[in-house]
Amino acid sequence: MATIARQAGPAESAGLWDRLSIRTKRVIWAWSFLALPVVFYAGIRFYPTFQAFWLSFTDWDLLRPATFIGLENYRRLFADPLFWQVFRNTFTYLIIGTPVSLVLAFVVAFYLDRVRFMHGFIRALYFLPFLTTAAAMAWVWRWFYQPVPIGVINGFLGMIGIPQQPFLRSVDQALPAIMVTAIWAGIGFQIIIFMAGLRAIPSTYYEAARIDGLGEWAILRKITLPLLKPTTVFLVVFSSIGFLRIFDQVYNMTTNDPGGPLNSTKPLVLMIFQTAFSSYDMGYAAAQTVVLFTILLLVSLLQLWVLRKRA
């Protein structure tokens, strides 16, 4: 045993390694396993986090050294009408997108769970969009939304006698049009997770409820939904974070005027991207990322708290 341990042991001289207790050896093994990861998390996660906070208090354009300006970036941000527009857009994606996609996903999962005939095939139809590249499918949807004679949706509307819709060219319709794309891309994942949650509910609960004479609606309300709560909490948080960080679809569906028309679709992440990598206003962009971080944190905590309370 000693020879094997000596050959493969962490860089220690053989004699010293042999004299260590088994417990100490294991601790050394543990830290040698963790050495590289600790460096990674410190250097690639924690240090950049603190740096982002620090940069948010500076004025910095990459060319000259950063100068400390206190809270000036935040003052500027909260006085910027564009920020409030972007803030509203971001929350519109969240507040409409999350409930709509979760309700749809639950309804599909609820019925799909009972389907036996061609179950795998139908499940695949719903799941496939989740495996696509957002940047690629954004262009497909963008093409769908074109006016006639190019756009498929307007072509279809024309056939059934509904007037042409401007979709991505309209200040009112562009954001919902992009939201549909995002919901379409994410719903397959939610359906699969809901189905896993439904399967995890023991069938004895249903049998007991049936013996007690509960109707289907009562079973859904009193048994299925309460027992599904951990799954729902996970999906609400996961999906909300996804909508708050929406970028790929918006960027690719509005490339000629990113976030347009007239900033009506611009989410916070796109504003950050443009401030940092089009205007090179790094300090200001860092302040925006801190705001995004704060929003994500508050929304996650709020949802966990609300959903936990309504037990």
Binders in 148-177 for other proteins, by CB under 8 A = 149-150, 152, 155
CA Rg value for the chain:
26
**Number of neighbours of residue 190 by Cβ within 10 angstroms:** 26
Residues 196-215 as x/- pattern, contact with other proteins by CB under 8 A: xx--x--x--xx--x-----
Q: How far is the CB of 70 from other proteins (least distance, A)?
A: 19
Q: Measured from the CB of residue 291, what is the shortest distance to other proteins in angstroms?
A: 10
* Binding-site member from 165, 232, 300, 303 for other proteins (CB under 8 A): 300
Binder among 8, 16, 63, 311 for other proteins (CB under 8 A): 8
Residue ranges in 255-284 that form contacts with other proteins under rule CB under 8 A: 255, 269, 272-273, 276-277, 282
Which segment (31-39, 74-82, 83-91, 165-173) binds other proteins by CB under 8 A? 31-39
Shortest Cβ distance from residue 131 to other proteins (Å)? 5
Report which secondary-structure segment, H or E, holds 67.
strand 67-68
Q: Is residue 128 close enough to count as binding other proteins by CB under 8 A?
A: yes
Crossing angle for the helix pair 268-277 and 282-309, to the nearest 10 degrees: 160
Among 87, 127, 261, 274, interactor with other proteins by CB under 8 A: 127
- What's the CA angle centered on 229, arms 223 and 235, to 5 degrees? 140
Which residue in the set 77, 102, 168, 188 belongs to the binding site for other proteins (CB under 8 A)? Answer: 188
Mark residues 89-118: x for contact with other proteins by CB under 8 A, - for none.
Answer: -------------------x--xxxxxxxx
Nearer to other proteins by Cβ, of 135 and 262: the residue is: 135
Distances (CA, A) of 156 to 55, 163, 184: 51, 10, 19
Residue 182: CA count within 13 A, CB half-sphere: 32
In one-letter notation, the amino acid at residue 157 is L
Nearer residue to other proteins within complex by CB, 27 or 71: 27
Among 86, 94, 178, 285, binds other proteins (CB under 8 A): 285
Among 141, 145, 167, 243, binds other proteins (CB under 8 A): 141
| Residue 143, token pair as written in the block | 């093409």
129 vs 260: CA distance, rounded Å: 25
Q: Which of residues 217-246 bind other proteins (CB under 8 A)?
A: 219, 231, 234, 241, 245
Instruction: Give start and end residues of each alpha helix (H) in the chain.
Output: 2-8, 14-19, 22-40, 47-55, 72-78, 81-112, 119-127, 134-144, 152-159, 174-199, 203-211, 216-219, 225-227, 229-244, 248-253, 268-277, 282-309
Query: What's the distance, Cα to Cα, between the start and end of the chain in Å?
Result: 55
